[in-house]
Amino acid sequence: MMRSLILLAGMAGIASAQTNAPGPETHVLRSGMKQVPLIELFTSEGCSSCPPADRWISSLTGNAGLWRDFVPAVFHVDYWDGLGWPDRFASANNTLRQHAYAESWKSDSVYTPAFVLNGKEWRSGLAGRAIPRPGADAGVLEVKPGQTNHFAITFTPAPGIKGPFDVSVAWLAGNLATQVRRGENAGRTLEHNFVVLAWATIPLNAESAAHGNVLLKRPTGTDATKLALAAWVTPRGSRAAIQSAGAWWP
Per-residue pLDDT, 225: 86
Q: Is residue 42 part of a domain?
A: yes
Per-residue pLDDT, 223: 86
Domain tally, the chain:
1
Q: In terms of Cα–Cα distance, which of 224, 240, 232, 206 is closest to 17?
A: 206
Between 129 and 15, the higher pLDDT residue: 129
> Average model confidence (pLDDT) for the chain?
88
Q: Is residue 5 part of a domain?
A: no
Query: Global pTM?
Result: 0.88
pLDDT digits (tens, 9 = 90+) for 143-186: 999 989 999 999 999 999 999 999 999 999 999 999 999 999 99
Instruction: Give the confidence band of 237 by pLDDT, cuts at 50, 70, 90.
Output: confident
Q: Is residue 1 part of a domain?
A: no
Q: Is residue 219 part of a domain?
A: yes
Characterize the bridge pairing of strands 114-117 and 120-121.
antiparallel
Burial class (CB in 10 A: 0-12, 13-18, 19+), 240: middle
Domain that holds residue 196: 13-249
Q: Is residue 226 part of a domain?
A: yes
Per-residue pLDDT, 171: 97
Per-residue pLDDT, 124: 66
Q: Is residue 124 part of a domain?
A: yes
**128 pLDDT above the threshold of 50:** yes
Q: Is residue 232 part of a domain?
A: yes
Per-residue pLDDT, 7: 29
Q: Is residue 68 part of a domain?
A: yes
pLDDT digits (tens, 9 = 90+) for 26-48: 689 999 999 999 999 999 999 99
Q: Residues with Cβ < 8 Å from 229, sequence gap 6 or more?
A: 27, 29, 143, 151, 169, 170, 171, 172, 246, 247, 249
pLDDT digits (tens, 9 = 90+) for 59-103: 999 999 999 999 999 999 999 999 999 999 999 999 999 999 999
